[in-house]
Amino acid sequence: MVDSPSFLDEPEDTREAIMKATYQALCEHGYAGLTIARIAEDFEKSKSLLYHHYDSKDELLLDFLSFMLEKFERSVPEGKSKPPEKRLETVFERALAPEDWDEGLKFTRAMTELRAQAAHDERFREHFIDHDRVFRQALVETIEEGIEDGVFREVDAEQIGSFIFVTLSGGMNQMATAKTGHEAAILDELERYVSTVLRND
Site for a copy of itself, rule CB under 8 A? 30-33, 109-110, 112-113, 115-121, 124-125, 128-129, 131-133, 158-160, 162-163, 165-171, 173-174, 176-179, 182, 185-186, 188-190, 192-193, 196-197
Sequence letter at residue 61: L
- Min dist. Cβ of residue 88 to a copy of itself (A): 15
If the CB atoms of residues 76 and 116 are measured against a copy of itself, the closer one turns out to be 116
If the CB atoms of residues 82 and 182 are measured against a copy of itself, the closer one turns out to be 182
User: Does residue 22 contact residue 39 with C-beta atoms inside 8 Å?
Assistant: yes
If the CB atoms of residues 17 and 65 are measured against a copy of itself, the closer one turns out to be 65
- Min dist. Cβ of residue 35 to a copy of itself (A): 14
**With 0-12 CB in 10 A as exposed, 13-18 as middle and 19+ as buried, what is 73?**
middle
- Min dist. Cβ of residue 69 to a copy of itself (A): 13
Measured between alpha carbons, how far is residue 96 from residues 69, 132, 158 in Å? 19, 17, 22
- Min dist. Cβ of residue 83 to a copy of itself (A): 23
Q: What is the largest CA-CA distance in the chain?
A: 60
If the CB atoms of residues 52 and 178 are measured against a copy of itself, the closer one turns out to be 178
If the CB atoms of residues 8 and 170 are measured against a copy of itself, the closer one turns out to be 170
- Min dist. Cβ of residue 31 to a copy of itself (A): 8
